[in-house]
């Protein structure tokens, strides 16, 4: 792939994404990102978003993106938290309701329409066995981009399916690991998407604050384009249609 794909001499693109509207994202993440002028995408769960509505509204004014992460966060019943309403017992119409209900709550609370979506737990199916159906086509119907999770390689922007773009886990990793991913993205002119949950000093499912800060410093005036999933997805769509 040619380096000319990306704008203004950039060699790769990066989106930072954080899921579930965890309070630590508001308390630690947004102030840090804002101090570096780095814009990220937040796939919000509805109740925690409502609990910090003022800050999430402000985040949109500061250029961050708010995306859809469904209303009830359905995942496989193998997760104990999901057992009372597991994906194995969903059908496509229920999933459509999940998506539309979350969209209308976000619109009502924050005054914007989400343009991108993140699959809860990175799982993209409903039903069981011979009745399993993919809900990727539903996501493609309503959103510019659907973000997968826990993948191994970043996206080739000339090839990737925008309805299920890959994302690499940034929880609990060192800056050296982050740098290895960035090196790969540079070498292959990729769109790298990171996903994380908490933003804090320690704990499970946590992007370490000092790793995030180092990353922000590293990206400053560099050759990687850092922007929201919506903005980079829009660019890729336009570039491919030329
Ligand atoms: Zn989630």
How remote is the CA of residue 222 from the centroid of ligand 1, in Å? 30
**Domain residue limits at 205:** 3-241
How remote is the CA of residue 155 from the centroid of ligand 1, in Å? 21
Domain count, the chain: 1
Distance of alpha carbon 37 from alpha carbon 220, whole angstroms: 9
Distance of alpha carbon 56 from alpha carbon 195, whole angstroms: 18
Digits of tens for pLDDT over the chain (242 positions)? 556 899 988 999 999 999 999 999 999 999 999 999 999 999 999 999 999 999 999 999 999 999 999 999 999 999 999 999 999 999 999 999 999 999 999 999 999 999 999 999 999 999 999 999 999 999 999 999 999 999 999 999 999 999 999 999 999 999 999 999 999 999 999 999 999 999 999 999 999 999 999 999 999 989 999 999 999 999 999 999 98
Q: Which residues contact 114 (CB under 8 A, 6 or more apart)?
A: 66, 67, 68, 102, 103, 106, 143
pLDDT of residue 242: 81
Strand partners, 16: 194
How remote is the CA of residue 242 from the centroid of ligand 1, in Å? 35
Q: Are 114 and 103 in contact (CB under 8 A)?
A: yes
CA distances (Å), origin 239, targets 6, 116, 135, 236: 9, 18, 26, 5
How remote is the CA of residue 45 from the centroid of ligand 1, in Å? 7
pLDDT of residue 221: 84
Q: Which residues contact 2 (CB under 8 A, 6 or more apart)?
A: 189
Widest CA span in the chain: 51
Say if pTM beats, i.e. exceeds, 0.95: yes
CATH of the domain at 100: 3.20.20.370
Beta pairing, strands 125-126 & 41-44:
unpaired
């Amino acid at each position: 792939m040619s380096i000319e794909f990306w704008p203004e001499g950039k060699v790769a693109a990066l989106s930072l994404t954080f899921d579930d509207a965890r309070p630590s994202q508001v308390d630690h993440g947004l102030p840090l990102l804002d101090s570096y002028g780095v814009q990220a995408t937040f796939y919000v769960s509805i109740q925690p978003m409502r609990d910090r509505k003022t800050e999430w509204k402000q985040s949109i004014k500061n250029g961050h993106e708010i995306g859809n992460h469904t209303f009830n966060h359905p995942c496989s019943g193998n997760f104990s938290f999901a057992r009372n309403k597991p994906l194995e017992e969903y059908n496509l119409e229920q999933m459509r309701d999940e998506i539309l209900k979350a969209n209308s709550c976000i619109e009502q609370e924050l005054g914007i329409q989400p343009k991108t979506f993140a699959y809860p737990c990175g799982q993209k199916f409903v039903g069981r066995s011979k009745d399993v159906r993919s809900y990727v086509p539903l996501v493609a119907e309503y959103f510019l981009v659907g973000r997968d999770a826990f993948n191994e390689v970043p996206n080739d922007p000339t090839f990737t399916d925008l309805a299920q773009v890959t994302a690499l886990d940034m929880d609990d990793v060192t800056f050296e690991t982050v740098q290895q991913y960035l090196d790969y993205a540079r070498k292959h002119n990729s769109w790298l998407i990171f996903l994380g949950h908490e933003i804090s000093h320690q704990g499970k499912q946590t992007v370490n604050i000092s790793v995030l800060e180092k990353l922000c410093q590293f990206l400053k005036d560099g050759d990687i384009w850092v922007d929201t999933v919506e903005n980079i997805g829009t660019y890729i769509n336009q570039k491919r249609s030329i």
